[in-house]
Chain A
Amino acid sequence: MSTSSARIWLLHAAVLLALLLAQPLLPEYHYVNVARILVLACYAVGYNVLLGYTGLMSLGHAMFFALGMYGAGLPVYYHGVGALPALALGVAASALGAALFGLIALRTRGVAFLIVTMMFGQAFHLTLLHFNVYTLGDQGFILSETIRTLDVAGAAFDLADSRVKYNAALGVFSVCLLASLLLVRSPVGRVLVAIRENEDRTRLLGYNTYLARLLALTVSGTIAGAAGATYALLFSYVGASFASILHSIYPLLWTLLGGAGTTLGPLLGTGLMFYLEIYARDLTTAYLVVVGAVLLVLVLWAPRGILGTLRDRKARWLP
């Protein structure tokens, strides 16, 4: 157990270190791309807590991403709040939103839960558009450059610099990834996995499964919100399109591609799809067909995704 535990921590440390040390090797052009991938991978990591480890599929996670994005973006836009307090506000908004949403939505289970998540996600998107006067939803807005400096312990970093973007994104991603790893390896995480495998039996054993699912949804929504807030601050754009159904389906796709229920799967899936989409965009305007095709391929031939399949075949110890 302890050797496998050491191996797991070593693997994650190695992945994060590799991302940190890859900087001199990467061409300038890829800095922003990889930063974007890292932030979006956070979103997928959050999604994976719910889908991969609790067995709950959501089609409305863009709601939490957008809550984080607007929770961070609106205070900056209207009141000129600094980057770190804005990040905290975004995370708080999404945590609150996810907990409240869970209280209602978790009263349903199975496919009804899925439909309810999609419905609420879409309603949230429409709400952002409806209150356009305040949210500037349909056009989106750009955070002005002046407030986009990050003050950490007296040192000021310019968030417009791609190198800073990269490292900030990596920092947030590391926190999210390690948080999810800690959660799934904790006793609570074991309960979540037990719910995924058999909820009735878990309840029979005396666990309050409603609370556990609520916790999972809240953590998942909060991580998604942290990703949204980071995205707003690093890429300085806030818009309602990030609340659309497509942005709820993306984390599902990334997680499934990399392997649901593997801690590193979301990163792998996000990275692969990101570059696949860039490639497809050059070929056709209907590049979203790639999304559909990959989903179908996964369902038919690789339901466990890349790392899930690898775990089944080779490395049983992968968390």
Chain B
Amino acid sequence: MSLGPHLLLALLEGLVGACVLALTALGLALVFGVMRIVNVAHGEFFMLGAVIAAACAGLVGDPPWLAFGCALLVAPLAVAAVATAADWAVLRRVRYDPESTIVATIGLLYIVQQSVLVLHGPDARAVPAPFYVRLDLGWFGYNGYKLMVAGAAVTLLLAVWLGLGRTRLGLYMRATQQDREMATALGVPVRRVYATVFALGAALAAVAGVLVVPIQQAHYLMGLDPLLLSFIVVIVGGLGSLKGAVIAAFVIGVSDGFVSVLFSPTLAKILATLLVAMVLVVRPRGLFGTSEA
């Protein structure tokens, strides 16, 4: 096989990965942008989404599209509920202090991860895709479901963008992001905005987890990779910049796809980190960051 098909495959894999990554990283960036906190448990929300999808597949069984639909509905809601509970029980009590929040979300990470280990078991579980279409690309056939994943992710990204720009809640979020005290003074229910944003960020990660599970597998340790990549993305894009996060997700995602297909996925992660080092040397605030976070 010549280089051409390899490159096409790498591009496709990269784009699909980038879309999922953009969705996950957007959740993290949204939470940081509005609440100024880093959610280390973000990857676990992703994992919860995937595991719930596996549980749905186990409960509903046939047909796969019904199980997938259930997962797409249940996972974001359930994970948002977990996030809301965490926000209410822990984050609100430490007043969203940056360092305490990080320690608290690390705690949350292990509690969620170990609970899944107990409830779901240590094995990875495959979940059937809701449909199977083989797209013939001449050199090789490509899984049509993967393109649907990309489409769904892009749709959700657009929905979040529209929601931020056109709805009252979006206005509240942007106001809180710009100046929390001023927003409070103008009657924005900041506390509720915080809870909503945290739940929304978690739900985005959960949806990404559901979308990705027919391609990967559901496993209780799967949260670390998306967390790491999301971190890379928000640092490269500039902490707090949503536009930066999405652009960086596509750059990192596509290059990750290329290196993964042509060399190895581990090398791809190492190279991505080196890229971050370069960005930091040249521009410590990230590509689209406005102020030092």
Query: Are A284 and B239 also in contact (CB < 8 A) when A116-B280, A126-B269, A252-B103 are?
Result: no
**In chain B between 80 and 121, which residues have their CB closer than 8 angstroms to a CB of chain A?**
90, 93-94, 98-100, 102-104, 106-115, 117-118
**In chain A between 224 and 263, which residues have their CB closer than 8 angstroms to a CB of chain B?**
245, 249, 252, 256
Q: In the complex the two chains form, is B293's CB within 8 Å of A288's CB?
A: no
Chain A positions within 8 Å of B228 at CB level:
118-119, 122
CB distance from B177 to the nearest CB of A (A): 15
Query: Are A104 and B269 also in contact (CB < 8 A) when A292-B107, A295-B103 are?
Result: no
Partner-binding segment picked from A159-167, A296-304, A306-314? A296-304
B272: nearest chain-A partner, CB-CB: A123
Please count the residue pairs between chain A and chain B whose beta carbons lie under 8 angstroms apart in the complex: 128
Query: Are A107 and B269 also in contact (CB < 8 A) when A114-B102, A115-B231, A298-B103 are?
Result: no
B289: nearest chain-A partner, CB-CB: A112
CB distance from B244 to the nearest CB of A (A): 13
Chain B positions within 8 Å of A119 at CB level:
228, 231-232, 235, 273, 276
A111: nearest chain-B partner, CB-CB: B38
Q: Which of A115, A256, A285, A293 contacts B234 (CB 8 A)?
A: A115
Size of the A side of the interface (Cβ < 8 Å), in residues, is: 42
CB distance from A106 to the nearest CB of B (A): 10
A291 within 8 Å of B (CB atoms): yes
B170-204 near A? 1/0 per residue, CB < 8 Å: 00000000000000000000000000000000000
CB distance from A43 to the nearest CB of B (A): 17
Chain A positions within 8 Å of B270 at CB level:
123, 126-127, 130
A116-134 near B? 1/0 per residue, CB < 8 Å: 1011101100110110000
Q: In the complex the two chains form, is B106's CB within 8 Å of A109's CB?
A: no
CB distance from A114 to the nearest CB of B (A): 6
Q: Kindly state the separation between the CA atoms of A119 and B275 in the bound complex, as whole angstroms.
A: 11
**In chain B between 220 and 251, which residues have their CB closer than 8 angstroms to a CB of chain A?**
224, 228, 231-232, 234-235, 239
B277 within 8 Å of A (CB atoms): yes
CB distance from A299 to the nearest CB of B (A): 5
Size of the B side of the interface (Cβ < 8 Å), in residues, is: 47
Chain A positions within 8 Å of B108 at CB level:
292, 296
CB distance from B168 to the nearest CB of A (A): 29
CB distance from B5 to the nearest CB of A (A): 26
CB distance from B91 to the nearest CB of A (A): 10
Q: In the complex the two chains form, is A295's CB within 8 Å of B98's CB?
A: no
B232: nearest chain-A partner, CB-CB: A119
Query: Are A108 and B118 also in contact (CB < 8 A) when A115-B38, A299-B103 are?
Result: no
Q: In the complex the two chains form, is A116's CB within 8 Å of B103's CB?
A: no
B133 within 8 Å of A (CB atoms): no
Q: Kindly state the separation between the CA atoms of A127 and B281 in the bound complex, as whole angstroms.
A: 21
Residues of B with Cβ closer than 8 Å to A? 32, 37-38, 40, 90, 93-94, 98-100, 102-104, 106-115, 117-118, 122, 224, 228, 231-232, 234-235, 239, 264, 266-267, 269-270, 273-274, 276-277, 280-281, 284, 292-293
Beyond the given pairs A59-B106, A252-B106, A256-B103, 7 more chain A to chain B contacts, judged by CB atoms under 8 angstroms and listed by A's residue number, are A110-B292, A115-B38, A115-B235, A118-B228, A291-B107, A293-B107, A299-B94
A-B pairs with beta carbons under 8 Å apart, 20 shown = A104-B280, A107-B281, A107-B284, A112-B293, A115-B38, A115-B239, A116-B280, A118-B228, A119-B235, A122-B224, A126-B269, A129-B266, A286-B115, A286-B118, A292-B113, A292-B114, A293-B111, A296-B90, A300-B90, A300-B93
Residues of A with Cβ closer than 8 Å to B? 57, 59, 104-105, 107-112, 114-116, 118-120, 122-123, 126-127, 129-130, 245, 249, 252, 256, 284-289, 291-296, 298-300, 303
